[in-house]
Amino acid sequence: MTAAIGVAGTLSASVLAQGLGRRNERDRRQAEDRSRWLAERLRVSSKLGSCALALERNLYDAVAFLDNEERAERLPGHKSIFMVPRSGLEEAHLDAFAVEYLSKAAHDGFEAMPELEQLASELALVGDPAEAHAANELIDALLDAVGMIEMCATVTEAWQAIQESRARREALVQASRRSLRIDQGVEQRKSRFSVRTQTKEIKS
């Protein structure tokens, strides 16, 4: 009888150990998946923010070539910097260098948008709704800012558009920080709960 009880106890311990082992492996894999997910969100949001900052800096430099004259007065007959003669417009106080600089800034801005939009789309998949919303608002603000340079808006309008882009970028940073902080906290609580549960099972 005693031997049977001993064998049963050994078998029970073995089954329990195997069960805990499988649970530990499952928890480990889930934790690794969540960790990679968080790392990917951090990568995408950080790259989107850094690319947006680089574009903003280029636009800031281009604003120096604008003034506060209305476009219709400054560039009569020209609705875009791309339509202005490469030699410049003397009556608009735009020499060849200014035209080239503004054209390049606008061109580079539009060229950068596909990558920024791709990053925003990725963030919509891996991030939370607040991050996705902030990313979309940032993209819209950047498009407006680039458009202001392309259409040779007044320096005030262009400056305000870039400042709006900066505000949207800061909003994305804050949304990402909140989201990552919350998810990391949840992950830590899950890890502590798993350890306590396993300890109770072993003791029992």
Domain ranges of the chain: 47-188
* Cα angle 106, 79, 59; round to 5: 20
d(CA 141, CA 162): 8
Write down the pLDDT at residue 17: 56
pLDDT along the chain (204 residues), means of 10: 53 55 52 63 91 96 88 74 84 83 96 96 90 95 96 93 97 89 52 46 47
What pTM, to 2 d.p., does this model score?
0.72
Q: What are φ and ψ of residue 95, in 5° steps?
A: -85, 180
Q: 95 by DSSP, 3-state: which?
A: strand
Q: What is the CA radius of gyration of the chain?
A: 29
Pick the CATH number of 47-188 from 3.30.390, 1.20.1420, 1.10.20, 1.25.40: 1.20.1420
| 3-state SS, one letter per residue, for 10-59 | HHHHHHHHHHHHHHHHHHHHHHHHHHHHHHHHHHHHHHHHHHHHHHHHHH
d(CA 182, CA 105): 39
Q: DSSP label at 64? A: T
